[in-house]
Amino acid sequence: MKQLFFAFPGNLETPTGGYGYDRRIIAGLRDLGWQVELVPLGEGFPHPSAQTLATAEKQLAALPLGALVVIDGLAFGTMAGAAAALGHELSLIALVHHPLCLENGLTDGQAEAMRESEHKALAFARHVIVTSPATARQVADLFEYPANRISVVLPGTDRPEALPREKSNVVRLLAVGTIVPRKGYDLLFQALSAMPDLNWHLEIVGGLDADPECYRTLLQQVGDLNLAGRITFRGAASPEDLTGFYRDADIFVLASRYEGYGMAYTEALAHGLPVIGSGDGAVRDTLPQGASLYCGVEDVGALREALELLITDAATRSQMAAAARIAAEALPGWQDAAGQFAQILQEVPQ
């Protein structure tokens, strides 16, 4: 039986796109006959304490000599010392959802320190797996990592049953993403504040605890823009509950500043929702023409125009919803993603 150790930071059950990708790949590998052993690395990543780093390195050092180990990039990029110490004893593979140094909210000094740490750590990775071609290019450019040792495994997408939506006089907007600055909720609120007379309501589904200061600032912004009662923060949701939010929505919108892939966009397409999206990274490549409106990076005016069009034009919403279903048929499933992941693991030099 093929054996893999999968090392991850924090709680693997955290309802985010990155952790969701990890869970589905692990489950898919097990279905393919792999023995996947989980290695929890502790809390606090990507800003772990010295004690957490030391404990994480001890856990990795205890693995069998020559073991095949995938380490989630949220941790790997901060573990340059452990990678250097263990890179010749273990077959280390970095799973990079997006470069940590590109996270919004970092000072120039913090971003450079993170870039240097990721650069040093990746030098000891036998291979890097990323979730989009855009991230592959960034890893090669930012960290001078050989492009021929980077593989792209796109996230899979489930195919939900098409169900009729209940009619409503209110146009129901949905955004899915953890409450952090990178997701651009402040930009979305600015755009929505310019259309107080239109009949809309926004549901936001995403964890509230990752950046409490960001959440407090957004609540203040909702009050300042007189949007109270028109925006609801739902917090994190289980996969089953999330399906219900997609089913009940009319439009999906996410004003991200940056995405390594953007699983929420493809999930929305699979549920037949017209999509409004923005941001750097892989967003433009993820959003298909005809089913989505791409609004650039931090362009509140473009967001406002896209929202106004879809809120007021039911015929356009319907056309884009049909295009979304068609576009989703071309997306890989999770079985495809796991199979590709497994093939890459088998080809990594030991």
**E strand or H helix that includes residue 281:** strand 280-281
Class in CATH terms, 3-156+332-347:
alpha beta
- In terms of DSSP bridges, do strands 275-277 and 251-254 run parallel, antiparallel, or are they unpaired? parallel
Residue 162 pLDDT greater than 80, yes or no: no
**Spatial CA neighbour of 129 closest among 279, 350, 337:** 337
Average confidence (pLDDT) over 12-37: 95
Half-sphere CA count of 23, side-chain side, radius 13 A? 11
pLDDT of amino acid 1: 76
Query: Does position 224 have pLDDT exceeding 90, yes or no?
Result: yes
Q: What is the mean pLDDT of residues 47-70?
A: 96
pLDDT value of position 80? 96
User: Which residue type is seen at 217?
Assistant: T
Reply yes or no on whether the pLDDT at 16 is more than 90. Answer: no
3-state secondary structure of 265: helix
Q: Residue 59's pLDDT band (boundaries 50, 70, 90)? A: very high
Whether pLDDT at 84 is above 90: yes
Backbone angles phi, psi at 34, to 5 degrees: -80, 145
- pLDDT at position 163 is 66
Domain positions in the chain are 3-156+332-347, 171-328
- Hunting for tokens 């907007």 — which residue is that? 173
Q: Which residue reads 């693997």 in tokens?
A: 12
- Our CA angle for 122, 341, 36, nearest 5°, is 90
Total-model pTM: 0.89
* 324-332 mean pLDDT: 93
- pLDDT confidence tier of residue 52, bands split at 50, 70 and 90: very high
Q: How confident is the model at residue 57 (pLDDT cuts 50, 70, 90)?
A: very high
List pLDDT tens digits, range 97-152.
999 999 888 899 999 999 999 999 999 999 999 999 999 999 999 999 999 999 99
Q: How far is CA 210 from CA 24, 45, 74, 93, in A?
A: 22, 11, 14, 26
**Comparing 3-156+332-347 with 171-328, is the CATH topology the same?**
yes
Split at pLDDT 50, 70, 90, the class of 240 is confident
Domain 171-328, CATH 3.40.50.2000 — does that match? Answer: yes
Per-residue model confidence (pLDDT) at position 167: 76
Instruction: Please give the pLDDT value at position 349.
Output: 77
**Whole-angstrom distance, CA of residue 256 vs CA of residue 177:** 9
Q: What is the mean pLDDT of residues 54-68?
A: 96
Q: What is the DSSP letter of 255?
A: -
Furthest CA-CA distance within the chain: 65
Residue-level pLDDT at 274: 97
pLDDT at 289: 93
Q: How far is Cα 331 from Cα 43, in angstroms, rounded to an integer?
A: 33
pLDDT band at 88 (very low <50, low <70, confident <90, very high): very high
> Mean pLDDT of all residues in the chain?
94
CB atoms within 10 A of CB 244: 12
Residue 234 has phi, psi (to 5 degrees) of -95, -10
pLDDT of residue 54 exceeding 70, the answer is yes
pLDDT digit string, tens, across residues 275-285? 999 988 788 88
For helices 263-270 and 239-248, the axis angle rounded to 10 degrees is 60
94-108, 196-210, 303-317: range with lowest mean pLDDT:
94-108
3-class DSSP state for residue 159? coil
